[in-house]
Amino acid sequence: MLDYLKDLQKSFSINTLLGSLFFFFILASWYTLRPLRNELAVQDIDNISILLAMVGVTMLMVNYIYSWVASLTNIRWLLVLCYIFLGSNLLIFMSLDFNSNPWIGRSFYVWCNIYSFFVVAIFWVVMINLFRGEQSTYSFGLISLGGTLGAAFGSRLAKLISATFDGSNIDIYAFTTVVLLIIGLLVGLITINRIRSVAKSPIGGSASDAFRNLANSKQIQSIAIYMYLFTGLMTIHWITSAQIFANWTDDSSKRIALFADMELAVSLLAGFTQIFLTSFFLRKLGIKIILFSYGVIFAIVFIVYASAPLVVSAIVITIFLRVFEYAINKPAREVVYTHLKRTQRYKSSVLVDTFFARFGDFSGSIFLNVFKNFAVTFNFVPLLSIPFVALISFVGIKVSKIQSEDKKRKASELIDNND
What is residue 319's predicted lDDT score, i.e. its pLDDT?
Answer: 95
User: Contact, 357 vs 364, CB < 8 A?
Assistant: no
What is residue 412's predicted lDDT score, i.e. its pLDDT?
Answer: 58
Q: Which of 116, 131, 142, 151 has its CA nearest to residue 24?
A: 151
What is residue 44's predicted lDDT score, i.e. its pLDDT?
Answer: 66
User: What's the chain's average pLDDT?
Assistant: 88
What is residue 311's predicted lDDT score, i.e. its pLDDT?
Answer: 93
State pLDDT tens for residues 256-276.
Answer: 678 878 888 999 999 999 999
* DSSP letters for 106-157: HHHHHHHHHHHHHHHHHHHHHHHHHS-THHHHHHHHHHHHHHHHHHHHHHHH
pTM of structure: 0.89
Q: Which residues contact 122 (CB under 8 A, 6 or more apart)?
A: 78, 79, 82, 83, 350
- Each residue's pLDDT, cut to its tens digit, for the chain (419 residues) gives 666 677 677 778 899 999 999 999 999 999 988 888 877 766 665 676 778 788 888 999 999 999 999 999 999 999 999 999 999 999 998 888 888 888 888 898 889 989 999 999 999 999 999 998 788 999 999 999 999 999 999 988 888 887 777 767 788 888 999 999 999 999 999 999 987 666 567 788 888 999 999 999 999 999 999 999 999 999 899 888 888 888 898 887 788 678 878 888 999 999 999 999 999 999 999 999 999 999 999 999 999 999 999 999 999 999 999 999 999 999 999 999 999 988 899 999 999 999 999 899 888 888 887 877 666 677 888 899 999 999 999 999 999 998 777 766 665 554 444 44
What is residue 106's predicted lDDT score, i.e. its pLDDT?
Answer: 87
The residues of the chain that CATH labels 1.20.1250.20 are 208-413
Q: What is 208-413's CATH topology?
A: Growth Hormone; Chain: A; (1.20.1250)
Task: Check if CATH label 2.60.40 holds for domain 1-206.
Answer: no
User: Contact, 278 vs 141, CB < 8 A?
Assistant: yes
State pLDDT tens for residues 312-355.
Answer: 999 999 999 999 999 999 999 999 999 998 889 999 999 999 99
From residue 322, alpha-carbon distances to 238, 317, 327, 399 in Å are 11, 9, 8, 21
* DSSP letters for 178-244: HHHHHHHHHHHHHHHHTSHHHHHSB----TTHHHHHHHH-HHHHHHHHHHHHHHHHHHHHHHHHHHH
State pLDDT tens for residues 144-191.
Answer: 999 999 999 998 888 888 777 776 778 888 899 999 999 999 999 999
Torsion angle of the four alpha carbons 398, 404, 406, 408, in this order, in degrees rounded to the nearest 10 = -130
Question: Element (H or E) spanning 284, and its range?
Answer: helix 278-284
